[in-house]
Structure 1
Amino acid sequence: MLELHDCDATLLNDMQQIKTIMCEAACKAKAMIVTEHFHYFLPFGVSGVVIIQESHLTIHTWPEHGYAAIDVFTCNSKLALQAAVQYITQQFNAGNVTQHYLHRG
């Protein structure tokens, strides 16, 4: 789980750019994308999911707070999750990043 603070509000409100970043992050992890769906909220904010064969990546943004909550969830320990996390944090250029790791199962 990632919590990104102090991000650019314009980027956090750009559904197409967020979709591109999240799909590319899945590719960087060497995951197989099954489908994706993103939704833009009025007046601002984006939520989206990239379903991967191995589970999913999700994002919820609050541009008015410069904040994004991101989950990178997988049931395959062979994926390059750190590559995905690194790519996401670089692309959003957050001033403050908090990572939480949760082992399930």
Structure 2
Amino acid sequence: MSGASPTGTHLLADLYGCSRLADIKAVDAALRAAVSAAGATLLDLRLHGFGEGMGITGVALLAESHISIHTWPEHGYAAVDIFLCGERHDLGAALAAMTDAFGAARCEERRIARGFGAA
């Protein structure tokens, strides 16, 4: 990542009261929407479904780092991880895209500064 800032922000979010968490197409679309909303550069997107009606794990590999999701449809719960380097990206917009995509009733988030000078 030459030219990119070595620091970034890591946003961890718990989404509750969600729907469509077992729908692999919906998870794919949500990740792509989050990447676009953040203004990030998508390199690859991988998804793994654990079977009919079961959860999905997905990751969007970004030039700026990653966005990932792990879903538990039986609990209406998703764990979202957004890590972006630099300051020109909109983590809040990325998270909003994810919460909107799944109709989350509640979202709890934590932000962590990462990298050089983060301490």
Q: Does 1:51 align with 2:61?
A: yes
Runs of 4+ with deviation above 2 angstroms: none
In terms of mean alpha carbon deviation, does 87-96 or 64-73 score higher?
87-96
Counterpart in the other structure of 2:28 = 19
**1:81 is aligned with what amino acid?**
L
Cα distance in 2 for residues equivalent to 1:42 and 1:93 = 22
Gaps of 5+ in 1: none
Between Structure 1 and Structure 2, the one with more helix by share is 1
Give the one of 47, 58, 72 matched to 1:38: 47
Partner of 1:81: 91
Compare the two structures and name the one with the higher strand fraction.
Answer: 2
For the pair shown, the structure with the greater C-alpha radius of gyration is 2
CA contact (8 A) 2:26 2:101 kept: no
Which of 13, 16, 36 aligns to 1:5? It is: 16
Contact 2:35 2:67 in 1 (8 A): yes
TM-score, normalization: structure 2? 0.82
The count of corresponding residues between Structure 1 and Structure 2 is: 103
Q: Distance in 1 between matches of 2:25 and 2:114?
A: 31
- Counterpart Cα distance in 2 of 1:80 and 1:42: 33
Q: Distance in 2 between matches of 1:86 and 1:58?
A: 14
Instruction: Say what the alpha-carbon RMSD is for the aligned residues.
Output: 1.0
Q: CA deviation at 1:96?
A: 1.4
Residue ranges of structure 2 left out of the alignment (5+ in a row): 1-11
* Percent of pairs with identical residues: 36
- Read off the aligned partner of 2:16 and give its amino acid letter: H
- How many Å separate the matches in 2 of 1:32 and 1:42? 30
